[in-house]
């Protein structure tokens, strides 16, 4: 092994970027939602923004574009003009993190956005990697869920289950409604949703 090789190797090692990561586990806070009619409030928007270390307006514009809705930032909260579920918000926040926060080389969140010759670039402070971030057309616009916990709906009871509860169908959901019989049309309130199953209570019996 010649001396020139050792000198070059030593120089290369000295030029490697310093790993500067924060060392803490990166955990995105769970969204806290409040539904008011057809409006959804993300109550801990400021907490999520602080964790992602990005400008609130940048994150909010991304959310609006992906959700295909309007909204506004009000103090520490973000308000959207449509009904949203926890899974919708979580999915889109995770998409933002993947595109605008996480380093594609080392997987760490210790990054920052910078513009170079009008090109937005994600630069990693941990490993030194960088990649362009291209503004893309919205691809994750999500369909509004047919059922939302706490909301009321008019349904027709089409069958009765083995335990005596009436069964109604709405979109992909099978809804169990106690104290109903086949043929009833009732106004119900959704108490719980588990996968494609929903459990409701009667608000009003419309016809029997």
The predicted-structure confidence for 70-99, as pLDDT tens digits, reads as follows 999 999 999 999 888 888 899 999 999 999
Rounded distance, CA 142 to CA 59, Å?
17
For 114, 148, 190, 205, the CA distances from 202, given in Å and listed in that order, are: 55, 16, 9, 7
Q: What are the domain boundaries of the chain?
A: 28-132, 152-207
pLDDT of residue 18: 47
The listed CATH number (3.40.50.2300, 3.30.750.24, 3.30.70.3150, 3.10.20.30) that belongs to domain 28-132? 3.30.70.3150
CA 163/CA 10 separation, integer angstroms:
75
| C-beta separation of 143 from 53 below 8 A | no
What's 152-207's CATH class? mainly beta
pTM for the model: 0.60
- pLDDT value, residue 12: 53
Residue stretches of the chain with pLDDT short of 70: 1-24, 135-145, 208
- Which pLDDT does position 44 carry in this prediction? 96
């Amino acid at each position: 092994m010649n001396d020139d090789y050792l000198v070059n190797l030593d120089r290369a090692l000295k030029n490697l970027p310093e790993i500067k990561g924060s060392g803490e586990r990166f955990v995105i806070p769970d969204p806290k939602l409040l539904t008011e009619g057809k409006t959804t409030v993300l109550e801990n928007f400021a907490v999520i923004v602080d964790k992602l270390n990005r400008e609130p307006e940048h994150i909010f514009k991304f959310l609006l574009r992906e959700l295909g809705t309007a909204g506004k930032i009000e103090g520490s909260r973000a308000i959207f003009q449509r009904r949203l579920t926890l899974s919708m918000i979580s999915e889109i926040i995770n998409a933002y993190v993947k595109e605008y926060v996480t380093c594609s080389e080392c997987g760490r969140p210790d990054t920052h956005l910078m513009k170079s010759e009008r090109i937005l670039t994600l630069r990693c402070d941990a490993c030194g990697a960088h990649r362009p971030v291209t503004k893309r057309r919205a691809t994750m616009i999500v369909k509004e869920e047919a059922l939302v916990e706490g909301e009321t709906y008019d349904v027709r009871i089409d069958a009765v289950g083995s335990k005596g509860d009436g069964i109604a169908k709405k979109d992909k959901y099978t809804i169990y409604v106690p104290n109903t019989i086949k043929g009833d049309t009732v106004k119900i309130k959704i108490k719980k949703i588990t996968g494609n199953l929903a459990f409701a209570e009667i608000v009003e019996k419309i016809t029997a």
